[in-house]
Every structure is written in C-alpha cells, then in structure tokens.
C-alpha cells in the first residue's frame, strides 16, 4: 500500500477515482446481481423432484439477528472447494457435498466467483454494475446464501450448467427464475447465480451426516475448544496459543478441507482420517477433531505454545 500511495500522490484526484472504479469493475466482472428484483411482483414458487423452491425477497432470508452484509466472519463457514469464500454454515456444508459429486463428475472443483458479499462489497458491485446489481443491503449474497459459479456453469449451454440444473436441487441449490434465459429482463439472465434454500431432504441429510455435539460455526468451535482446553488443564496462555495455531490452520472450521493436500478439519490432520482414532464422526464433529488435535499436540510438542512456536518457525507453516 505504501508503494501505491506513492504513485497515487502524483495522479490527479479524478484519475484516481477512474482507476479505482476500473479496479472494482474488473474485480466483480460478471458478478452483477439482481437478487430480489422481481420480488415486488410476488414470490414465485416452483417444484423440482418434490423439492419446493420459492424466490423470495432477499430481506425474507434474514437470519441470526444480523443485517444484510454485516455478518461476523466467525458466524460464516469457509467453502471447502474455494477457501477464499464464505457462506452460511449449512449452505457451506451442502455445497461441500455437492462439490464432491461435481468433482467426481468433472475431475475438478466447482469454480466459485463470489459467495458471501459484505455490505461494502455490495456497494462496490452496485457502483460498477448500476441497475443490473442488487441495491446494497438487498442481496442474497449479503446473507451468505447466494453463489456465483464459474468454470462452465456461467454458460447456459455448457455440460457443467446442465449438471447443476439436474443435480443442484438435491443439495438445496437452485437457479432463480429471474436469472433464467427467459428472465423478464434478458440483461439480468445470469447462468452463474445460484441460491441456497435448505429443503427438508437437505436438512435430513445433514442430520444423518452427524450433528456436531457442540460447536458448529467457527466461533462456536472456538468456545468449545476453550472449554476443552480448560478441562485438559491448559492455562489461559496455552489456550491463546492454541487459538492462534488453529486460526492459522483452519479458521476453526471443522469442514476445512485443504485443496492441495488431504489435510482436514480444525487441526488440519493429514490425512483427515487419522482423526478416526478419536471417533468415527471425525468428519463432522468439532469435539472429535479438537480431542484428536489436543492429543496430537500433547504427544508431539507437549503444549500448544511449543506447537505454535514450531508452526511459526516453518514456511510454509506446519506443526
Ligand atoms: Zn450472484
């Protein structure tokens, strides 16, 4: 930023504004969003294979007592297939299982352009895209429930798009009517924009997959970790080291799936299946992962602060 600031001072203020707008425009690219544009005409409900979807105004999707685009990062979960993006945790979990089937079909991960979008990012999108973009504060991206997908899905004629149309609904992902090619406003046809609606079938799948015995969101997993560290007899100082270590490894997301290795979960066990030593539910239960990770640290380093020191000294970091 220092270098950029050095350049900026020799430019006129107008040119700076033009450059900034150009940067924002290229960053959002095809991620214009018209969410809820047609809600005023009445919610549209339709059914696919027994799953009912309703295009609702994004405001009706409020959750957690938060405002649109103002959700604390710790209440969202990283997308395993695209760790730079976050979504509501149940959507992230459903997305992970859908992404796994997609990978089996095509040999690569689903490309994600955008998922949760903060209020500030919605303002930037609106500035770049004008009437095509949702009014800031009214996007389903601001609830962590909308996904802009690429890698072929952003093309109505592709096999990847066809796959999403045939399979997405099984996991709760649907393509809203306003984004169809037959959209009342063709300029708003968006093959890339998908929304998550937890269907009864999806909720049942997540229940049988194993509900976390405590924890769930990264913040809840942290709280669980803190109490488990105390129970183990580790001091507040040791807890601080553990908190930092696993924030660096996984952000305390029990679904964290390293895209370039088979490391998995809160402690990023390599491979994830090693955690089976602590319980059969190692894929889904934060408590099982934390139990295993604490035992690993105690066995290999003695304490979390010694593990953190080793982690910090290595590049790339590992422990
Ligand atoms: Zn979108």
**DSSP character string of 265-316:** TTTTBSSGGGGGGG-TTTTT-HHHHHHHHHHHHHHHTSSHHHHHHHHHHSSS
Measure 31 CA to ligand 1 centroid, in angstroms: 6
Q: In the predicted model, what is the mean pLDDT of the chain?
A: 79
Q: What SS3 class is residue 16?
A: helix
Say if CB 194 and CB 94 are below 8 A apart. Answer: no
Measure 95 CA to ligand 1 centroid, in angstroms: 15
Measure 116 CA to ligand 1 centroid, in angstroms: 9
- Considering the domain architecture, whether residues 194 and 309 belong to the same structural domain is answered as no
Measure 93 CA to ligand 1 centroid, in angstroms: 19
- Considering the domain architecture, whether residues 149 and 40 belong to the same structural domain is answered as yes
Measure 32 CA to ligand 1 centroid, in angstroms: 6
Say if CB 164 and CB 149 are below 8 A apart. Answer: yes
pLDDT in 10s for each residue of the chain, 319 residues: 333 333 333 444 444 444 443 333 333 333 445 554 443 334 555 566 666 666 656 667 788 888 999 998 888 888 877 888 999 988 988 898 899 899 999 999 999 999 999 999 988 988 888 777 778 888 889 999 999 999 999 999 999 999 999 999 888 899 888 888 887 666 678 899 999 987 666 666 665 544 444 677 888 889 889 888 888 888 889 999 999 999 999 999 998 887 778 899 999 999 999 998 888 888 888 989 998 999 999 989 999 999 999 999 998 899 9
- Considering the domain architecture, whether residues 156 and 248 belong to the same structural domain is answered as no
- Considering the domain architecture, whether residues 152 and 225 belong to the same structural domain is answered as no
Nearest alpha-carbon partner for 305 in 255, 240, 260:
240
Q: What is the CATH number of the domain that holds 201?
A: 3.30.1380.10
Please check whether residue 286 lies inside any domain of the structure: yes
How far the first Cα of the chain sits from its last, in Å, is 31
Q: What is the pLDDT of residue 54?
A: 62
Q: Position of tokens 């544009």?
A: 37
- Considering the domain architecture, whether residues 256 and 147 belong to the same structural domain is answered as no
Measure 194 CA to ligand 1 centroid, in angstroms: 7
Q: What is the pLDDT of residue 22?
A: 38
Residue ending a domain, among 135, 170, 205, is 205
Q: What is the pLDDT of residue 134?
A: 79
Residue ending a domain, among 161, 184, 205, is 205
pTM over 0.75: no
Q: What is the pLDDT of residue 44?
A: 55
Measure 119 CA to ligand 1 centroid, in angstroms: 14
Measure 140 CA to ligand 1 centroid, in angstroms: 8
Measure 115 CA to ligand 1 centroid, in angstroms: 7
Measure 100 CA to ligand 1 centroid, in angstroms: 21
C-alpha to C-alpha distance for 292 and 177, rounded to whole angstroms: 46
Measure 145 CA to ligand 1 centroid, in angstroms: 10
Please check whether residue 9 lies inside any domain of the structure: no
Q: What is the pLDDT of residue 279?
A: 84
Q: What is the pLDDT of residue 52?
A: 63
- Considering the domain architecture, whether residues 183 and 288 belong to the same structural domain is answered as no
Measure 310 CA to ligand 1 centroid, in angstroms: 41
Whether the upstream peptide bond of residue 316 has omega within 30° of 0, thus cis, is: yes
Measure 7 CA to ligand 1 centroid, in angstroms: 34
Q: What is the pLDDT of residue 37?
A: 42
Measure 205 CA to ligand 1 centroid, in angstroms: 26
Residue ending a domain, among 205, 231, 259, is 205
Domain holding 195, by residue range, is 31-205
The set of residues, in sequence order, having a beta carbon less than 8 Å from that of 92 and lying 6+ positions away, is 76, 77, 78, 79, 80, 86, 255
Measure 69 CA to ligand 1 centroid, in angstroms: 14
């Amino acid at each position: 930023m220092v270098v950029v600031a050095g350049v900026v001072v020799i430019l006129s203020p107008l040119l700076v504004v033009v450059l900034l707008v150009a940067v924002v425009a290229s960053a959002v690219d095809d991620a214009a969003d018209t969410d809820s544009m047609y809600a005023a005409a009445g919610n549209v409900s339709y059914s696919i294979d027994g799953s009912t979807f309703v295009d609702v105004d994004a405001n009706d999707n409020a959750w957690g007592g938060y405002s649109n685009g103002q959700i604390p990062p710790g209440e969202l979960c990283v997308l395993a297939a695209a760790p730079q993006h976050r979504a509501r945790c149940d959507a992230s979990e459903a997305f992970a299982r859908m992404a796994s089937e997609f990978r089996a079909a095509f040999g690569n991960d689903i490309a994600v352009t955008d998922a949760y979008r903060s209020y500030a990012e919605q303002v930037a999108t609106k500035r770049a895209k004008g009437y095509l973009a949702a009014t800031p504060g009214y996007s389903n991206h601001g609830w962590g429930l909308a996904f802009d997908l690429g890698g072929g899905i952003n093309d109505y004629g592709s096999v990847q798009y066809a796959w999403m149309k045939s399979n997405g609904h099984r996991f709760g992902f649907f393509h809203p009517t306003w984004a169809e090619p037959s959209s009342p406003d063709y300029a708003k046809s968006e093959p890339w924009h998908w929304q998550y609606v937890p269907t009864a079938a999806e909720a049942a799948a997540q229940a049988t997959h194993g509900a976390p015995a405590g924890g769930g969101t990264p913040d809840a997993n942290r709280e669980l970790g803190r109490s488990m560290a105390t129970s183990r007899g580790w001091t507040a100082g040791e807890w601080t080291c553990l908190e930092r270590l696993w924030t660096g490894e996984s952000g305390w997301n029990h679904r964290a799936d390293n895209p370039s290795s088979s490391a998995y979960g809160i402690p990023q066990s390599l491979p994830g299946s090693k955690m089976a030593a602590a319980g059969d539910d190692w894929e889904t239960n934060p408590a099982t992962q934390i139990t295993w990770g604490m035992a690993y640290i105690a066995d290999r380093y003695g304490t979390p602060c010694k593990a953190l020191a080793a982690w910090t000294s290595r590049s790339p970091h590992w422990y």
